[in-house]
Structure 1
Amino acid sequence: MAAFTPGDPALYINRELSWIEFDRRVLEEAFDRTHPLLERVKFLSIFSSNLDEFFMIRVAGLRRQIACGALEAPPDGMSPQEQMQAIRKRLVPLLQERQRCWEEELLPALEKEGIVVHRAKVLPETAQEAIRKRFFEEVFPVLTPMVIDPCHPFPAISNLSLNLAVAVRNPATGERALARVKVPTDLIPRLLRVPGMEGHHLVFIEEVVAANLDLLFVGMEVEECHAFRVTRDADMEIEEDEASDLLTAVEEGMELRRRGAPARLAVTTSMPGWIRERLAAHLGLPPIQVYTTGGPLGMADLMEIAGIDRPDLKDPPFLPAVPAEFTRGTPAIPALSGRDLLLYHPYDSFAPVVAVLREAAHDPAVLAIKQTLYRVGPNSPIVAALMEARQNGKQVTAIIELKARFDEENNIGWARALEGAGVHVVYGLTGLKVHAKVCLIVRKERDGIVRYVHLGTGNYNAQSARVYTDIGLFTTDPAIAADVSDLFNVLTGVSRKADYRKILVAPVSMRKEILARIEGEIERQRAHGDGRIIFKMNALVDRECIDALYRASEAGVQVDLQVRGICCLRPGIPGVSERITVTSIVGRFLEHARIYAFGSGEVLLGSADLMPRNLDRRVEVLFPVEDPAIRAGLLRVLAVHLEDDVKARRLRPDGSYERPETGTCNAQTWMIAHRPGGEGP
């Protein structure tokens, strides 16, 4: 039997390869015929969007490490060069599977349902004429063909833009030239409706542009035309201590993101080698970072098809539960006093969270509201309630994380709107992202000041709350409320408080507290033989936590982990992790809740995954579930999720995942059927 040796690279799965396995599970859902058709298209779009972000952040980071020298090897010991090679080896067959899914599975199925994606050059003549007319009126005016030759510098190719490489010949001189045409997908839908054809008849805009290039290159012969797409480094690095204005620095970083260093060149398989090599040379990309596919490129845009109004081809809607306190027409805030109320979204409606804030905005007894905001989305009812509260004379403080990746523009807009309404706006802490999900309402009541607290695992975003599984808890527990008050003082002032009564806060104490609880289960196992750990999270990367879980398994503790995405722990290694199981659920909803349960009976919820970034570089909160009924309900929910044998995949020791053989328990379907809302599942 093997013995656990901390630091042995063989004990850890590479983070990047684990992420690819997660996206493979997303792609599997696009193949799954038990999903309605447009939901399958949605999964294919999500797979492609995930891949774009992977290159923008992770692959771009590896390229920087290769250029500058890696500071520290990951726990698995792979060098940046080895990781780049391994990534390509995994992705090439996966991209072929994506192509097969689109061409052999989805396109024929869509056509049977009257959603037809045509090739522009084989449309009926009347349709081609109608498309050409629309092209000339709406698309042609915004196109700018740019020749690539010694007199014209290589054009700036913005991140994720779709382009055509066009080879043309002058019939008078025989001279050939290569030009680039940017397809304006930021201005015009990617899929155009074919005029004059009933139903959903669509054509990709790049094919329309390619079919009408004679209008752009008048008097020239268009010899060939091929699509390409560039993915750039989008990981902003802001020197906060050198920035006089963080908001301005983030805005400048967003602009730089459009022209960051190239991380991937994607081309169609029809593109000849000489064009591909010329583009790669201009971009400074080695062959390992050039990926070919049969097309279409940029499949994240297939979300336009998934959005077609065909309810019969989508998941059936369901009505989220609403606790009785919010259906009586009486004030909800007083009804929350002295008790806990748990909401498990999307099975429970997010509307009560919005309702409490709106009620607080107009309640004369409410004195102040404090709120963290990470990703709130557009048209946020949460932000609107905060502005109403300020207009009604409440003291309102909003901690807005400007550095929330890819939500910076939204958050800058909300920060300015809140400031304009008179809200005290704080941009977070220098060097740390504020990722905690916390709201505090201070109310003056007959017996004194009462603090109402909402803590959650997910963002205060009414839109994502419909598709992300997240948990929120309302409580007036005095110790938790005092902790939350202290935390807001840290976020808005200069407090250096490091000890809290009940909540766990990163980066000051969370890792230490989690490790202590794991060690507590090891001692429990030795003393009573009933040590138990059940963790449900999005990612498990932190080596110290992984090593602690290995020690627990080695000591005989049963460890069941449900990790939706990246998992660097290897389960099932004899003598090391044979008492550890790891499953992942990818289904209708994005599993986003974090639940940490221990044999001692303690259950913690919160915003943090077990990753170095969460434990060391973010402000995170885990909070205890004190109510016995709610705690028992959550443990039942965990049990059902661990029993899932329909959407769950089991992690093997080699880092691959396998499907269960049976297939009778779908945890998300069970939650829709059994989740009543209110005081416990």
Structure 2
Amino acid sequence: MSPETSLLRESLTDPLTHEDVTASTVGAVDVFDVDPAYDATLGELPDDRFLDREVSWLRFNQRVLELAEDESVPLLERVRFAAIFASNLDEFFMVRVAGLKRRIAAGLAVPSASGLQPREVLDLIWQRTTELMQRHASCFRDKIIPALAEQQIQLQRWSDLDKEQQRKLKKLFKERVFPVLTPLAVDPAHPFPYISGLSLNLAVLVRNPKTGKEHFARVKVPPKFDRFIAVDEQRFVPLEDVIAEHLKPLFPGMQVVTVHTFRVTRNEDLEVEEDDAENLLHALEKGLQRRRFGPPVRLEVEESIDAHVLDLLVTELGMSASEVVSVPGPLDLRGLHDIADLDRAELKYPAFLPSTHALLAEVESASPVDIFGAVRERDVLLHHPYDSFSTSVQRLLEQAAADPHVLAIKQTLYRTSGDSPIIEALIDAAEAGKEVLVIVEIKARFDERANIKWARKLEQSGCHVVYGLVGLKTHCKLALVVRDEPDGIRRYAHLGTGNYNPKTARLYEDLGLLTADPNLTDDVAHLFNNLSGYARHPSYEHLLVAPHTVRDGLVERIRREVTHHEVGRPARIRIKANSVVDEVVIDALYDASRAGVPVQLLTRGICALRPGVPGLSEMVEVRSILGRFLEHSRVFWFENAGDPEVLIGSADLMHRNLDRRVEVLTPLLAQATKDEVGRMLDVSFAEGTSAWHLQSDGTWQRRTTDDGGQPLLDLQEWLIQQSRRRKA
């Protein structure tokens, strides 16, 4: 899986955009259920205080599209944002829309927290997505293609090519593409073929010249080939154009009347029964086989499609006309990643190489620093991608695997890369005779196959592999190293906000704590025992762990800020998360605002809280920052009467994270680590920092310049410059 693919999935699945956005795989909780615990806090709060989460997500993807439209963004990065927008929307339909339709059909869906009925939500989704898809197509056709042409990168259709270029592609078609194509006719002897989800297809109408009778056939565009075929180094044409112009050899003796492209999105919301934990792996594998046959939820066609061909597709696919989206071609712009990958450095963000954290940097030596010695001295707060993952987290595990004094390594794995050095380090440790426990979450959405593969490879190498807890996904990011030292056994831990994936660590903004503080490592050790055995330890001395204590712990701290404020002590709440949806926490934040406590939220994706509502949320400010890197860390700052309490971790403020996952929030105990986070938050919320600002009606306003027209500070560029200064 490419880093770009992972980036896309984060938009939904965490989302941009790789974490789930529906109910748990057991389907026990409806996505529209409101936690009954918050009923007691309603009091005088208005019924319309929550923004709809689905509409909020669509507005997130609109912000992605705005980056594709932004001429101040390097051109090939705009191309990538256009591709990300397309993939984000695909997964939104595959999961969110599919799940909503399934629940409506089963009579299970209830009104959302925003008060909208499920059918109203679905209607809004279709209205907004149709508008966004049209805007996306216009951006590609009217802005990106001309801008690329100015840089001698030509994205053309078949009719734009000259004769020599067409001859070249005809030869390529004959030699490479034609042998792979399979025309599938539709007639009494040939039923309408199965159309796989997200595949690009040609609807072909052919005529028998002897009888004059017309017949329908489907030709699938082979996904193994590049989406845009290179005519030369800087000129490209959609693969379906090449196929459409050379269909005669596929239908000898027939006349090709019309050719139209279409694309189907299917329900890929995987459900697995977890009643029998021993068979979870096999049940998941069977579920993966069924996923590709999910019912269709969206049909995309080009605007030029013939009405009777469209009617045929709608009828045969069992869809309604309301589920059809017509846009200017070409369809499926996910393939723009290939264009964004062109070797044109001047059209991309300037190259950036993460630096080794100052506390882990080599000192007058060519050999790597002793990670254990450095962490024994003090806690180390890592900020990726500005701090290198490979010379910190990866090096910790590699040194642990090779160190004869290390007795055991324990690790959670939610997602990792295909050629993961993390996996290799764990295997090396097991083969060296160390005790290695790996909690592999095989239900990580869209990474199930990869995680099953890694789980088996780890098991075969002698690692103890556990698939997590029945009914819960293990989403926390933890590593624990147990080392025999002269003064006794010492534990070292890494607690992070992001996955153990070296590739996405260069693209995602995340925080991680390296610590040997027994206050934290003891809690981590207890948690691993809970995950691997029958021990149940729902409360911990310092960690907040979902599904037991994260929500209550956060609400308790929010209410403590109210108490501080009421007696005149310093009080403030700052939260950075991917999504803020949970009604209990939002109501607590409303209460804090009404009491006069300043509340600042930095949310990349969904936010169901309405800021700036008189008498409700006048003290709440909500910002969103999107850019070169995917903002992914979760931070919870409580001023606490001048002695700030700061937590980082894996949990977003969503039902799935707080109720159906094992999540961990860890406090930063060292003052230096708190100060680092404080500086980052100060800049994030500074008036001079560029960001989108959420309005009380749910819309977002982007501010990139000050009142005098001068550019505002780019947070991520500022952090890059800070990293370079430290390196120098």
**TM-score, normalised by the number of residues in structure 2:** 0.90
Q: Paired residue for 2:200, among 142, 148, 162?
A: 162
How far apart are the structure 2 equivalents of 1:677 and 1:535? Answer: 27
- 1:243/1:489 Cα in 2 relative to 1: closer, same or farther (>3 Å)? closer
Shift in Å, 1:646: 5.7
Q: Paired residue for 2:387, among 327, 341, 348?
A: 348
> Retained in 1: the 8 A contact 2:202–2:262?
yes
Q: Is 1:192 aligned with 2:229?
A: yes
3-state SS of paired residue (1:11): coil
How far apart are the structure 1 equivalents of 2:398 and 2:323? Answer: 50
- 1:389/1:382 Cα in 2 relative to 1: closer, same or farther (>3 Å)? same
Shift in Å, 1:143: 1.0
- 1:7/1:401 Cα in 2 relative to 1: closer, same or farther (>3 Å)? farther
| Higher mean displacement: 456-465 or 133-142 | 133-142
Shift in Å, 1:122: 3.6
Q: Is 1:469 aligned with 2:509?
A: yes
Match of 2:62 in 1: 24
User: Structure 1 segments of 4 or more deviating over 3 A?
Assistant: 3-9, 644-647, 675-679
Q: Paired residue for 1:595, among 635, 655, 658?
A: 635
> Retained in 2: the 8 A contact 1:470–1:591?
yes
Match of 1:674 in 2: 722
| Higher mean displacement: 565-574 or 407-416 | 407-416
Deviations 1:139-163 (A, max 9, x none): 1111111112333211111111100
3-state SS of paired residue (2:537): coil
How far apart are the structure 2 equivalents of 1:644 and 1:242? Answer: 54
> Retained in 2: the 8 A contact 1:451–1:476?
yes
> Retained in 1: the 8 A contact 2:636–2:648?
yes
Q: Is 1:431 aligned with 2:474?
A: no
Match of 2:626 in 1: 586
Shift in Å, 1:126: 2.1
> Retained in 1: the 8 A contact 2:45–2:616?
no
Match of 2:161 in 1: 123
> Retained in 1: the 8 A contact 2:683–2:689?
no
Match of 1:152 in 2: 190
Match of 2:235 in 1: 201
User: Structure 2: which amino acid aligns with 1:548?
Assistant: A
- 1:587/1:250 Cα in 2 relative to 1: closer, same or farther (>3 Å)? same
How far apart are the structure 2 equivalents of 1:44 and 1:515? Answer: 38
Match of 2:15 in 1: none
How far apart are the structure 1 equivalents of 2:455 and 2:83? Answer: 31
Shift in Å, 1:8: 4.2
3-state SS of paired residue (1:109): helix
User: Structure 1: which amino acid aligns with 2:400?
Assistant: A
Match of 1:607 in 2: 650
**TM-score, normalised by the number of residues in structure 1:** 0.96
> Retained in 2: the 8 A contact 1:455–1:606?
yes
Match of 1:60 in 2: 98
- 1:258/1:7 Cα in 2 relative to 1: closer, same or farther (>3 Å)? farther
- 1:57/1:488 Cα in 2 relative to 1: closer, same or farther (>3 Å)? same
Match of 1:619 in 2: 662
Q: Paired residue for 1:114, among 146, 152, 163?
A: 152
Shift in Å, 1:677: 9.9
Shift in Å, 1:6: 6.3
> Retained in 1: the 8 A contact 2:201–2:263?
yes
How far apart are the structure 1 equivalents of 2:42 and 2:414? Answer: 39
How far apart are the structure 2 equivalents of 1:584 and 1:607? Answer: 19
Match of 1:629 in 2: 672
- 1:418/1:651 Cα in 2 relative to 1: closer, same or farther (>3 Å)? same
3-state SS of paired residue (1:241): coil
How far apart are the structure 2 equivalents of 1:246 and 1:644? Answer: 51
User: Structure 2: which amino acid aligns with 1:372?
Assistant: T
Q: Is 1:331 aligned with 2:370?
A: yes
How far apart are the structure 2 equivalents of 1:656 and 1:230? Answer: 30
Counterparts of residues 219-298 of structure 1 (less than 5 Å): 219-242=253-276, 244-298=278-332
- 1:26/1:646 Cα in 2 relative to 1: closer, same or farther (>3 Å)? farther
Match of 2:21 in 1: none
Shift in Å, 1:532: 0.7
How far apart are the structure 1 equivalents of 2:259 and 2:492? Answer: 62
> Retained in 1: the 8 A contact 2:277–2:470?
no
Match of 1:92 in 2: 130
- Root-mean-square deviation (CA, aligned residues, Å) is 1.7
- 1:591/1:301 Cα in 2 relative to 1: closer, same or farther (>3 Å)? same
Q: Paired residue for 1:521, among 561, 564, 567?
A: 561
> Retained in 2: the 8 A contact 1:169–1:176?
yes
Shift in Å, 1:71: 4.0
Structure 1 vs Structure 2: percent identity of aligned residues? Answer: 48
User: Structure 2: which amino acid aligns with 1:602?
Assistant: E
Deviations 1:147-182 (A, max 9, x none): 123332111111111001111111110001111111
> Retained in 1: the 8 A contact 2:100–2:109?
no
Shift in Å, 1:529: 5.3
> Retained in 2: the 8 A contact 1:587–1:647?
no
User: Structure 2: which amino acid aligns with 1:113?
Assistant: Q
Shift in Å, 1:319: 2.6
Match of 1:446 in 2: 486
Q: Is 1:212 aligned with 2:212?
A: no
Shift in Å, 1:644: 6.5
Structure 1: state its 5+ residue gaps. none
How far apart are the structure 2 equivalents of 1:449 and 1:100? Answer: 63
Shift in Å, 1:323: 2.6
User: Structure 2: which amino acid aligns with 1:569?
Assistant: L
How far apart are the structure 1 equivalents of 2:461 and 2:276? Answer: 29
How far apart are the structure 2 equivalents of 1:572 and 1:113? Answer: 44
> Retained in 1: the 8 A contact 2:112–2:118?
no
How far apart are the structure 2 equivalents of 1:438 and 1:370? Answer: 8
Number of aligned residues: 673
| Higher mean displacement: 408-417 or 576-585 | 408-417
Structure 2: state its 5+ residue gaps. 1-40
3-state SS of paired residue (1:383): helix
Q: Is 1:556 aligned with 2:596?
A: yes
> Retained in 1: the 8 A contact 2:422–2:500?
yes
Shift in Å, 1:261: 1.1
User: Structure 2: which amino acid aligns with 1:189?
Assistant: D
- 1:529/1:377 Cα in 2 relative to 1: closer, same or farther (>3 Å)? same
User: Structure 2: which amino acid aligns with 1:258?
Assistant: R
